[in-house]
Structure 1
Amino acid sequence: MNILVRNLERSITEAELVELFKPFGTVKSAVVVMDAGTNKSKGFGFVDMPNGREAIKAIKGLNTLKVKGMGIRVKAAEDKPEAK
């Protein structure tokens, strides 16, 4: 399951995201979305957890948790509609 993580403190790394989610289960990947022009974090990212049950536990356990002073928002990522 792909998970959207919003309201990230700008210095959070992909490795820190993995460590945050790891207690809930297997983390396939983590990506912090970067601004192409400045190469700085946009304050959100995605975590991929292959086990849906573990992903739901992570969402419930981490939503609104304060990480580096910021209350993160965690939810299942919605698929982008296909461009026509």
Structure 2
Amino acid sequence: MKLLIRNLNRTTTEAELLDLFEAYGAVQSLQLVRDEDANLSKGFGFVNMPKAGEAKVAMQNLNGKIIGGFKIRVKRAEDRVEETASDELDDTQAPDTDRND
């Protein structure tokens, strides 16, 4: 289960996040989102935990916890939906199949 962690102190490290979440189970991956130019944290990241039960316990225990002076928010990350070209067509763009030529 992929979790979104928001409102992180910009000085929080990936190692600190890993320690927090590993207390509740296995961590498959962890990504702290950074500003590419300054290489500083943007204050949020993602943790992927393979066992949903462990992820839920981590979410319940860490959401609202004060880390580095900031009250973090932890919730399930929503999957991005990729749009296809057919999804982008509206009725005015759809081919006219009712014409009698």
Q: TM-score band (shorter)?
A: over 0.9
Letter in 1 for 2:31: V
* Runs (5+) with no aligned partner, structure 1: none
SS at match of 1:79: coil
- Distance (Å, rounded) in 2 between the aligned partners of 1:3 and 1:55: 8
TM-score, normalised on structure 1?
Answer: 0.95
Larger relative contact order (CA 8 Å, sep ≥ 6):
1
Question: Once the 2 structures are TM-superposed, how far is the Cα of residue 83 of structure 1 from its aligned partner?
Answer: 3.9
- Aligned residue pairs, count: 84
Partner of 1:67: 67
| Separation of aligned partners in 2, 1:8 and 1:83 | 31
Query: When the two structures are superposed, what TM-score results if normalisation uses the length of structure 2?
Result: 0.80
Using the TM superposition, give the Cα deviation of residue 74 of structure 1 relative to its aligned residue in structure 2, in angstroms: 0.1
Runs (4 or more) in structure 1 with deviation over 2 Å come to none
Which residue identity is paired with 2:27? V
Partner of 1:49: 49
Deviation at 1:82, TM superposition (A): 0.8
Instruction: Tell me what 1:40 maps to.
Output: 40
Of structures 1 and 2, the larger Rg is shown by: 2
- Structure 1 position 15, deviation (Å): 1.1
Residue type matched to 2:6 in 1? R
CA distance in 2, matches of 1:4, 1:69: 19
